Amino acid sequence: MRKAINAFTVDLEDWYHVCGVPGCSDPAAWNSYERRITGSTAKILSLLRRYGVKATFFVLGYIADNEPALIKEIMDEGHELATHGFFHRRVYEMSESEFDADIGRSIEAISSVTKSRVPGFRAPEWSIRRENFWAFDVLKRHGIVYDSSLVPMSGMGCRTYPHLPVKLQTRYGEIVEFPLTTARLFHENVPFTGGLPLRIAPYFYVLSKIQRMNRQGIPAVVYIHPWEFDTAQPKLDLPLRRRFMHYFNIGVTGRKVEGLLKHLPFAPMKDVVAAYFR
Instruction: Map out the domains of the chain as residue ranges.
Output: 6-276
Cα–Cα distance measured from residue 148 to residue 176, given in angstroms and rounded to the nearest whole number: 8
The pLDDT > 90 percentage for the chain reads 91
* Class of residue 34 by CB neighbours under 10 A (exposed 0-12, middle 13-18, buried 19+): exposed
State how beta strands 221-224 and 6-12 pair.
parallel
Cα–Cα distance measured from residue 95 to residue 99, given in angstroms and rounded to the nearest whole number: 6
**Of residues 52 and 1, more confidently modeled:** 52
Cα–Cα distance measured from residue 100 to residue 69, given in angstroms and rounded to the nearest whole number: 26
Q: What are phi and psi of 160, to 5 degrees?
A: -85, -5
- Helices 37-50 and 253-263, axial angle in degrees (round to 10): 30
Q: What are phi and psi of 164, to 5 degrees?
A: -125, 160
* pLDDT per residue as tens digits for the range 160-182: 899 999 999 999 999 999 999 99
* pLDDT per residue as tens digits for the range 227-278: 999 999 999 999 999 999 999 999 999 999 999 999 999 999 999 999 999 8
Cα–Cα distance measured from residue 184 to residue 205, given in angstroms and rounded to the nearest whole number: 13
CB 224 within 8 A of CB 250: no
Q: What are phi and psi of 182, to 5 degrees?
A: -135, 165
Q: What pLDDT shows up at residue 1?
A: 62
What b/e readout covers 109-124, taking b as 16+ CB neighbours within 10 angstroms? bbbebbeeebbbbbbb
CATH architecture of 6-276: Alpha-Beta Barrel (3.20)
3-state helix, strand, coil in the chain (%, to 5): 45, 15, 40
Cα–Cα distance measured from residue 239 to residue 23, given in angstroms and rounded to the nearest whole number: 13
Q: What pLDDT shows up at residue 156?
A: 87
Give the SS3 label for residue 75.
Answer: helix
Instruction: Find the helix or strand (DSSP H, E) in which 70 lies.
Output: helix 68-76
pLDDT band, residue 189 (cuts 50/70/90): very high
| Cβ atoms < 10 Å from Cβ of 35 | 15
Task: Assess whether pLDDT exceeds 80 at residue 126.
Answer: yes
Q: What pLDDT shows up at residue 232?
A: 96
pLDDT band, residue 3 (cuts 50/70/90): confident
* pLDDT per residue as tens digits for the range 12-61: 999 999 998 988 889 999 999 999 999 999 999 999 999 999 999 999 99
State how beta strands 173-177 and 166-170 pair.
antiparallel
CB 48 within 8 A of CB 79: yes
Cα–Cα distance measured from residue 59 to residue 122, given in angstroms and rounded to the nearest whole number: 9
Average pLDDT of the segment spanning 189-216 = 97
* Residue 191 C-alpha from the chain's centroid: 13
* pLDDT per residue as tens digits for the range 64-109: 999 999 999 999 999 999 999 999 999 999 999 999 999 999 999 9
